[in-house]
Structure 1
Amino acid sequence: MSQQKPTAIVVCPGRGGYNKPELGSISRKYGKQKHWLDAWDERRHSLGAATVTELDQAQKFDFKRHLHAENSAALIYAAGYLDYQAIKDDYDIVAVTGNSMGWYTALSCAGVWDPVNAMDIVTDMARNTADAQGAQLIFPLTDANWKPQPEFQAAITEMLNELRNELFESIYYGGYILLSGTERAIKQVAGKLPKVDDRFPLILPGHAAFHSPLMQQASQRALANWSVEHFNQPALPLIDGRGHIWQRPAVDLNDLRGYTFNHQVAQTYNFTRALEVAVREFAPDKLLLLGPGNSLGGAVGQTLAMMNWRNIHDKQSFVQQQERDDAAVISLGLT
C-alpha cells in the first residue's frame, strides 16, 4: 500500500523575494526544468526585456537592475513556479494562495493561467504599475514577540481618518500593515507614526501606491490588455486577497478576471485573511512557502500566532515548532 501524501497549502510570495542572496538560485536549483526557463527567456526576449537566465546568472547582483519592477517580477514568478513544480507531486496540494504579486504565481500553480503566457502578463503588469503614482509604507501591528499592540492600530486608524482619499490600507501582512497613498500623505504618516525598533515606519523604496484606488489607471489598462480567454477553470482551490475561495466548477471566469485586474490591483490585499481562510477551511498538514527567499516566513508565523494554530501563539512558540523534525511550515526558498 502506498503511503498517503501529506496535505499542503501552497503560499506564493510577492515583491521583494529575490535579493542578493538569491542570485543564481534559479539556475542552480532548476537545471532539470530548463524547458520552462527557455520558454520564459524566449518570451522575455520578444518583449525586449532581460531574460530570467541572464538576470539570474549575472556575475553580481545589481540593485538597480535586479530590483527594477519588470525584472524583479519575472524572477519572483519564475522561482516560485519552479518551486511549485519541484514539490507538487510530493504533497496532496489542497489549496493555493499568495501575497500581492503572488496572486499571479498562484493563478499559474492552480492552472488558471498557462505558465508560459503568464510570464507575459507578469511582465506587462510590472511595466503597467511601474509608473503609477504614490508611495507605500510598512508599519508593525505587533511587538517583537508578535503580540498585538492596539495602540499601533489606533495610530494607523487616526492617520487614515485624517488623510481620507489620500491614504489607504494596502496590505494586511501578518503582524504588519502596508499603507499606500500620495507621496505627500505617506511622508506625513512617516513623520507622525511612533518610531518602532529604529526601523518603522519604513517607506518602501521604488514602490508606488499598490493595492489602492491610486492604481485605477493601471487596472483599466490591464483590463484592456488581457481578455478572459487567458483564464481557465482552476484545477485547485484559490484563496484571494479578500479571503474568497475560487473553486471549480463554479468559477465565473469573467469574475475571476475582474478580481485579478481590478479589485486585486486597486483595493486592499488582505494576505492575513487569505491565509486564515486557507488554514481553517482546508486544515493542511503543511504550509509550503514558495521561493525565492523567505520573505513570507515572518508574516505566515505571525498569522498562525494570531490564530493560535497548533499552539503557536507568539514568536517563541513558532520558532520552537519550526525546530521540530515535523515542522508544519516549510520555506522552499531556503532549501
Structure 2
Amino acid sequence: MNAYIFPGQGAQFSGMGADLYEKSETARELFEQANQILGFSITDVMFKGSDEDLKQTKVTQPAVFLHSVILSKTLGESFKPDMVAGHSLGELSALVANGTLNFEDGLKLVSQRAMAMQKACELQPSTMAAVLGLEDAVVEKICEETEGIVVAANYNCPGQLVISGEVEAVNKACEALKEAGARRALVLPVGGAFHSPLMEPAREELAAAIAQTKFHKPACPIYQNVTTTAVTDAEEIKKNLMVQLTAPVKWTQSIQNMIAGGATLFTEVGPGKVLQGLVKKIDRNAEVTSA
C-alpha cells in the first residue's frame, strides 16, 4: 500500500518550487492562484528569495504547503495514495492531497495558522529543544518535574524527541536531560513553543477558522498527529485538526500504525527528505522515496 507523507516547517529552501513552475501548466496556475489568495507574490520569495526571506512566518508555512500540494497535483495518474499523513503543518498538505480540503481553503487555513502562531509567539518568550538518545518516558518525566511550562512536543522517531515551552523551563529541562544521559539536548532556532499549551491563543483563532471551512469526505484515510490512527470521517478530522497546535505531534506512533495498517512504500511529497530519514529510524525495513 502506498503511503504519502508531507513535511512541515523547516523543510523550506531557497528556489523551492521554481522547477515545478517552469515545467507544469497546472503548477503555474496554482502558484498564480496562491499569489492572489495570499495578497502578495509568494512565488517571488520562494523562487528568488534568500533563506532569511523564507523564514518569515507569513511565508514559511504557505511555501512548504504550496510546494507539497502543487507537487502532488503535478504527479497526475501516478498519485494514488492508500493513506496519508503530514508532520505538523504537513497535515494540512495531506488533507488537500486526499481531498478533505480544496486547494483554496487549505491555503487560507495555512496562512491563518502561520499568522496566529506568530501572534502567540509574540505574547511570551518561548522555544523548543531537540533531545537525542533518551527513552520517551524519561523525557516526559523530566518535563513534568521541571518548574514552568515544558512538554514533549514532537515524537519524531525512537530516541529523538522535541520539547517545547517557556524559555527558562526548556533550558532547565535541557540541563536535567543531559544529566539523565541525553546524547544531546539542544535549543532550536525557532520562534516559539509550538505544540505546547503556550499555543492556546493560536489554537482558538485557528479553530474558529476551521469551524467555518468545509471539510469533504477524504479519498483515503489520514493518520493524524493527535490520534495517530486512520481517520476517514470529515467531522472527526476537523475536531482533531482544531487541537493540533497545542497537542504533541505523534509521528513515531503514526508511522508505526501506518505500517501496521499495510503501508509498504512511504513517498515524501514536498521539500527535503527529513521524513524519509525518520521513517527509516522508526522501521529500518520500510521502503522510502521522494515524489
Same fold, judged at TM 0.5 (above): yes
Map Cα deviations across residues 86-136 of structure 1 (whole Å, 9 max, x no partner).
Answer: 335225420000111111111111111111221111011011011324211
Q: Which has the larger radius of gyration?
A: 1
8 A Cα contact 2:165 2:198, kept in partner: yes
Structure 2 unaligned spans of 5+: none
Which of 212, 217, 225 does residue 233 from structure 1 map onto? 217
Residues 104-143 of structure 1: matches in 2 within 5 Å?
Answer: 104-132=92-120, 133=124, 134-141=126-133
**1:161 has 2:144 as partner:** yes
**SS where residue 81 of structure 2 aligns?**
strand
- Going from structure 1 to structure 2, the CA distance change for 1:88 and 1:274 (only over 3 Å counts) comes to farther
**1:9 has 2:3 as partner:** yes
Amino acid at match of 1:163: T
Other-structure match for 1:258: 239
**SS where residue 269 of structure 1 aligns?**
coil
Shift of 1:157: 3.6
Amino acid at match of 2:146: L
Shift of 1:79: 0.7
Q: Percent identity?
A: 19
Cα-Cα RMSD: 2.3
Map Cα deviations across residues 9-35 of structure 1 (whole Å, 9 max, x no partner).
Answer: 10010110012xxx2230213431211
Map Cα deviations across residues 221-248 of structure 1 (whole Å, 9 max, x no partner).
Answer: 112233254211111111101212112x
- Going from structure 1 to structure 2, the CA distance change for 1:272 and 1:88 (only over 3 Å counts) comes to farther
8 A Cα contact 1:228 1:257, kept in partner: no
Number of aligned residues: 281
**SS where residue 169 of structure 1 aligns?**
strand
Residues 75-224 of structure 1: matches in 2 within 5 Å?
Answer: 75-87=63-75, 89-132=77-120, 133=124, 134-141=126-133, 150=135, 153=136, 155-163=138-146, 166-175=149-158, 176-194=160-178, 200-224=184-208
Amino acid at match of 1:260: L
- Going from structure 1 to structure 2, the CA distance change for 1:157 and 1:220 (only over 3 Å counts) comes to closer
Q: Could you state the TM-score of these two structures normalised by the residue count of structure 1?
A: 0.77
Amino acid at match of 1:26: G
Shift of 1:200: 3.0
Structure 1 unaligned spans of 5+: 1-6, 142-148, 311-327
Amino acid at match of 1:61: S
Give structure 1 regions of 4+ aligned residues with deviation exceeding 4 angstroms. none
Amino acid at match of 1:74: P
**1:243 has 2:228 as partner:** yes
Q: Structure 1 CA distance, aligned partners of 2:212 and 2:240? A: 12
- Going from structure 1 to structure 2, the CA distance change for 1:285 and 1:43 (only over 3 Å counts) comes to same
**1:300 has 2:283 as partner:** no
8 A Cα contact 1:94 1:236, kept in partner: yes
**1:57 has 2:47 as partner:** yes
